[in-house]
Amino acid sequence: MKLYTYWRSSAAYRVRIALNLKEIECDMVPVHLAEGQQHEVSYKGQNPQGLLPALEHNGQLLVQSMAIIEYLDTIRPEPRLLPQDPLRRARVAGMAQAVACEVHPLNNLRVQNYLKNELNQDNDAVQAWFSHWIHVTFGPLEQWASQYSAQQRFMFGDSVSLADLCLVPQIYNARRFKVNLDDYPTLIAIDRHLCSLPAFLAASPEQQADAVI
C-alpha cells in the first residue's frame, strides 16, 4: 500500500491518521504541492485531478481523502471511524463533511494561489478570506461538539471518529494562518486531547519525512 502525500496537506493528514489508528503499514510517497509536483505527468497520469492524497492498493489507485478513509474503514473495520448505527453515522458524517466539503475546498492551496495570482489579492485579503470561512464553519462545529462530545475528548461520543480526523488538520491550518480560535473552547479541548494520542501525533505534519521546518 502506498499513500501519495504532502506533509502540509490537510486531506493527506486525515488519511495518515486513519492509517495509524488502524495500524495499516503504508509507504509514504511525497508529492511536493508547493513545487507543483502534483501537476507532473508522472503523478497526474495516475490521478487526473492532480490532487492529494491518493492511495495505491492492490494495483488500484483511490482518490479523495473521505473516500479513501471510508475504504480503509471497510477493509479494516476496527477501530470504526463511521458508526454502524444510521443516526450516529449521519451525525459523524455531517460534522466531518462540514470541514471536508465546506471550509477545506475554499481555503486550500489552489484557491489561495488563484486569489493571489488571478484575482490580484494581497496577503491581507487572502488572510481575511481564510479566516472568514474558518469562522463560518467552526461556529456550528462548536455547537455540535458541545452537544455530542463526551467530556470534550472527541467530536462525537467517547471514541475517535471521522469527524476528529477532519477537525485536527483544520485546526492546524487555522493556527498556521493565525486565526483567532478563542470562540471555540470545545473544539480546542478536543484537539488538545486528540493531538496527545500516538496515532495523531505520528501523523502530524512536522513528523513527516518530507517536512520542511
Q: pLDDT band for 34, please (50, 70, 90 cuts).
A: confident
Element of type H or E holding 73: helix 65-75
User: What pLDDT is recorded for position 13?
Assistant: 98
Question: pLDDT tens digits, residue range 148-166?
Answer: 999 999 999 999 999 999 9
159-210 residue pLDDT tens: 999 999 999 999 999 999 999 999 999 999 999 999 999 999 999 999 999 9
Distance between CA 61 and CA 53 in Å, rounded?
10
**For the purposes of burial, counting CB atoms within 10 Å of the CB of 205, is it exposed (0-12), middle (13-18) or buried (19 or more)?**
buried
Structural domains for the chain: 2-79 (3.40.30.10), 86-199 (1.20.1050.10)
Closest CA to 66 of 36, 34, 32, 98: 98
Cα end-to-end distance, the chain, whole Å? 27
